Amino acid sequence: MTNTHRMNVSAATGGCRAWCWAAALAAAVAWGPEGAEPGAGAASAREPAAAGASAQPGRATTPGGTGGVNAPETLDKPYLVLVSFDGFRHDYLDRYATPSFDRVAARGVAAEALVPVYPPLTFPAHYSIVTGLHPERHGLVGNRFYDPARGGEYNYRDPASVADGTWYGGEPIWVTAETQGMVAAAMLLVGTEADIGGVRPTFWTRYADRGTHRERVDGVLDWLALPPERRPHLVTLYFASVDGAGHRTGPASPAVAEAVERVDADLGRLLDGIDALPHRAAVSVVLVSDHGMAEARPDAVIDLDAVADLRGVRAVVSLSGANLFVPGGEARARVVRDDVNDGTGGGNVLKGVRAYLRSEVPAALHYRAHPRIGDVVVIPDPGVTFDVGPPPPPGMHGWDPRHPDMHGIFLASGPDIRPGQRIGSVDSVDLYPFLARLLRLAPNPDVDGGLAALAPVLAPAAR
């Protein structure tokens, strides 16, 4: 697809000895989704919770979901398998042999890139894909975040946070499906372990029980072979291995090439299985990633405490961003902001980092409205990280999503999609309305994305 702007950091890493790489690798296990994210697993069927649903005017909804049986009017609707490959940067499709991805592109559409939301981290970015909302509206404003109203913190590594639907705003596509009489199934995806508005997918999987890639693919194929009354029309599938390799050894490393080729084989197994179904012509396949990957610069690690007086400040700091909750009102927040930007707090002159009052965050990032966003938001340039203890891993993401290294992938094929199309970049918030259209569902109308950008890829009858 397009050439990627890449930072040259080879000089910076040249002095790193074996111990240094071992430390970075150990750290990456904790930061990357692979091995670090909580809950989901082998194909264990769980019943949906029976709490109240989020009914909306003009949309026929079923409180609590389908109860595992498709409504009669659902039986004639298409099927959709949404597959996410965490951290799959857009240009990997050009760099490596990906015959299975190419198969989907030939049958349907491939975008130049999928532009993620800010911050391009696994939890916020995935949840924007499935809700059509920016994080400032769906509320997952980071992989970890603080909620001043609750006085509590969400942590993507804490299974209790992940499973608690009260953290999740908006309406993910599987809730749209279940409340409109359509059975949904999740072989992992952010949010599918929670009861959101009282609704879960009929089938879902704990991350801790996630099984091997082959087991996940076979579990999806088992679901698609169920009798029509119980067969899910929406199925999600998730792989974290490309992200893990990118963190551990960097986006240009041989390990990423191996991970890409392996998930391509997994995808091939899925496509072969779908092609063997009697109802194969009714199945759409949508391939996405949540974000890309960039090199983290070991020579550009910033200690926020050294440059601003953070006494009394609740700082939620990740490698690639920080939300600061500043007591004392806006006057003190301005002081913290200016300390970071001017580098006066600790006598440092900062390069490659910028602090904003919440109201000043660039409009293009859509990162202002939610109270879980800090009074001061600090955003480093791509490659620059915050000092959170261990050295940064070779690969990271979470920086400004307008940077090409943060861009992911979007490909789709199915009965409503014209074959052989190549399109430009797609915004990830535009996927939810598109998924709803493919499934003949009435989407939540109150979303940030729209169908206009992707309508041209549909066959005229499906627009």
Direct distance between the N- and C-terminal alpha carbons of the chain, in angstroms, rounded to an integer: 26
Strand order in the sheet with 321-325: 314-318, 321-325, 376-380, 353-357
Please list every residue from 313 through 352 that binds Zn ion, using CB under 5 A.
Answer: none
| Cβ contact 148:165 at 8 Å | no
Residues 323, 328, 331, 336, CA torsion sign: negative
Task: Answer yes or no whether residue 405 interacts with Zn ion by CB under 5 A.
Answer: no
**87 vs 433, beta carbon nearer Zn ion:** 87
- Nearest approach in angstroms of CB 240 to Zn ion is 8
Quote the least distance from Cβ 127 to Zn ion, whole Å.
Answer: 15
Nearest residue (CB) to Zn ion, 87 versus 181: 87
Site string for Zn ion, 81-110 (x = CB under 5 A): ------x-----------------------
- Residue type for 75, please? L
By beta-carbon proximity to Zn ion, the closer residue of 143 and 284 is 143
Q: Which two tokens stand for residue 395?
A: 């690969």
Residue nearest Zn ion by beta-carbon distance = 243
Cα(135)–Cα(253) distance, integer angstroms: 31
Please, which residue, 271 or 409, has the CB nearer to Zn ion? 409
Least distance (Å) between residue 53 CB and Zn ion: 32
- Indicate the DSSP class of residue 425: -
**3-class secondary structure, 285:** strand
CB of 293 to Zn ion, least distance (A): 7
Which H helix or E strand runs over 185? strand 184-187
- 295 part of the interface to Zn ion, by CB under 5 A: no
Q: How far is the CB of 107 from Zn ion (least distance, A)?
A: 29
Task: Determine, following the binding rule CB under 5 A, whether residue 34 of this chain makes contact with Zn ion.
Answer: no
Dihedral angle over CA of 341, 144, 238, 395, nearest 10? 40
- CA distance linking residue 352 with residue 334, whole number of Å: 19
CB 424 within 8 A of CB 1: no
| Minimum distance of Zn ion from residue 60's CB (angstroms) | 38
Q: List the one residue from 1, 27, 28, 32 that touches Zn ion (CB under 5 A).
A: 32
**Per-residue interface string for the shown chain with Zn ion, residues 235-254, x marking contact by CB under 5 A:** --------x-----------
Q: How many residues bind Zn ion (CB under 5 A)?
A: 3
Tokens standing for 179?
A: 């409340």
CB atoms within 10 A of CB 301: 16
Kindly list the residues in this chain that would bind Zn ion in the complex (CB under 5 A).
32, 87, 243
